[in-house]
C-alpha cells in the first residue's frame, strides 16, 4: 500500500485530533516513552504557494506533560540548518512563557528534525543531542540539588534544557530494518509500511494516510506538492552539476597556468623544446605554441 508523504500529512491530516494516533506513535517510538498529545499549537511557518523554495514543514505539539515538541521535515539542503534548529527551539521557549512569569515556568522543548539531505558529517542516520555540564578539572557531571529537583520536578540537568533529534531519513538503508524506529524511518523514506512492521502509529498510518482515500481536491493538492518536490530535487541536482563543472574548469585553468609557466621557465633557461616536451609529458607542438604566444 502506497501512503502519502509524512510531511504533507503534517500539513493537512495530522492536525486533526482524530489522526493524533499517527503522530503520537511516531513520537513514542523516537522518544521511547508513551506520548499523548494534548493539542496542536501554531507552526513556525508552512508555505502553501508554488514559489515555496524549500517545502519545509513543521508542526508544534504539546504533550500530556506540558512539554513542547517540534517536528520538522526539511527536504532541501541548508548549510546553516543547525542554527535554524537552535533558533526554532529558542523561539518556542520565549513564545510560551508569559510576561512576568518565573523562569521555572520555561517549558521543556524537544526538537525533532527529519532531514532528506546529509546534515553535517557522520556515519549514523539518527542523532540525539542534550545539554550537560562536565567539570573541567574533576570530570564530574553537574547535577540538580534536592530543592531544584523538587522545583523543576526533574532528576537531571539535561531534562531542563532543549533536546534535539536529527533523523537523516534520506540516508537510511531500507535493506537494514533492525528496530521499531527503523520501521518508522523506512516509512519516512519509502512511503510504505511492510506487513511485519509493528511500531506504534504505523497501523494507524496505514488507515489514515492511504493515498486512495484522499478527496479529489486533496489528491490534486498532494500531487502538486510532490511535483514541486521533484522540481526542487531537479534544480538542486542541476545546480550541483553546474558547481562541479565550475570546479573542474577552475582546476583545468590552474593546471594549464602551471604548465605554461613550466614551459616558459625551462625555455628561458635555455632548455630545448624537445626536452621540455619530454620532461613535461606534453606534445612538442604544444610547447612551441606556448613559446610562440608569449613572443607574439
Domain ranges of the chain: 6-213, 235-295
Average pLDDT over residues 138-167: 93
Look at residue 235 and tell me whether its pLDDT is greater than 80: no
Q: What is the pLDDT of residue 140?
A: 95
Do 216 and 203 meet the contact criterion of CB atoms below 8 Å apart? no
Q: Which triple of cell numbers denotes residue 147? A: 530543592
Choose between 131 and 224: higher pLDDT.
131
Residue 116 CA to residue 76 CA, distance in Å, equals 7
* Rounded average pLDDT over 259-266: 87
pLDDT over 80 (residue 31): yes
Report the mean per-residue pLDDT for the chain. Answer: 86
Q: What strand order describes the sheet that includes 163-168?
A: 37-41, 57-63, 68-74, 109-115, 163-168, 126-129
Mean pLDDT score, 37-58: 62
Taking only the tens place, the pLDDT of each residue in 214-232 is 888 888 888 888 888 777 7
| Spatial separation of the C-alpha atoms in residues 158 and 93, rounded to whole Å | 15
Lowest mean pLDDT among 43-52, 94-103, 139-148, 190-199: 43-52
pLDDT higher than threshold 70 for residue 45:
no
Pairing of strands 37-41, 57-63: antiparallel
Out of 83-97, 240-254, 268-282, pick the least confident.
240-254
pTM of the model: 0.74
Q: Which residues fall within 8 angstroms of residue 6, CB to CB, at 6 or more apart?
A: 73, 114, 187, 188, 209
At 1, the pLDDT band (50, 70, 90 cuts) reads low
Amino acid at each position: 500500500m502506497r501512503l502519502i508523504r509524512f510531511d504533507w500529512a503534517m500539513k493537512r491530516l495530522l492536525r486533526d485530533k482524530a489522526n493524533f494516533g499517527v503522530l503520537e506513535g511516531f513520537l513514542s517510538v523516537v522518544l521511547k516513552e508513551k506520548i499523548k498529545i494534548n493539542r496542536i499549537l501554531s507552526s513556525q511557518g508552512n508555505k502553501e504557494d508554488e514559489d515555496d523554495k524549500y517545502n519545509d514543514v513543521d508542526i508544534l505539539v504539546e504533550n500530556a506533560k506540558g512539554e513542547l515538541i517540534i517536528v520538522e521535515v526539511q527536504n532541501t539542503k541548508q548549510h546553516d540548518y543547525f542554527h535554524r534548529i537552535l533558533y526554532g527551539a529558542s523561539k518556542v521557549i520565549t513564545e510560551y512563557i508569559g510576561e512576568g512569569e518565573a523562569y521555572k515556568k520555561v517549558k521543556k522543548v524537544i526538537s525533532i528534525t527529519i532531514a532528506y539531505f546529509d546534515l553535517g558529517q557522520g556515519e549514523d542516520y539518527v542523532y540525539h543531542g542534550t545539554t550537560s555540564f562536565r567539570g573541567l578539572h574533576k570530570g564530574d557531571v553537574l547535577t540538580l540539588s534536592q530543592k531544584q529537583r523538587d522545583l523543576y520536578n526533574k532528576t537531571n540537568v539535561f531534562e531542563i534544557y532543549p533536546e534535539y533529534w536529527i533523523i537523516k531519513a534520506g540516508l537510511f538503508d531500507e535493506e537494514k530494518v533492525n528496530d521499531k524506529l527503523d520501521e518508522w524511518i523506512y516509512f519516512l523514506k519509502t512511503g510504505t509500511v511492510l506487513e511485519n512492521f509493528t511500531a506504534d502509529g504505523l497501523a494507524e498510518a496505514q488507515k489514515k494516510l492511504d493515498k486512495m482515500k484522499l478527496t479529489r481536491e486533496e489528491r490534486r493538492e498532494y500531487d502538486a506538492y510532490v511535483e514541486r518536490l521533484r522540481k526542487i530535487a531537479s534544480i538542486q541536482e542541476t545546480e550541483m552539476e553546474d558547481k562541479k563543472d565550475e570546479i573542474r574548469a577552475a582546476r583545468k585553468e590552474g593546471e594549464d597556468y602551471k604548465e605554461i609557466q613550466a614551459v616558459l621557465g625551462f625555455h628561458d633557461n635555455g632548455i630545448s623544446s624537445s626536452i621540455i616536451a619530454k620532461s613535461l609529458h606534453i606534445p612538442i607542438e604544444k610547447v612551441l605554441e606556448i613559446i610562440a604566444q608569449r613572443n607574439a
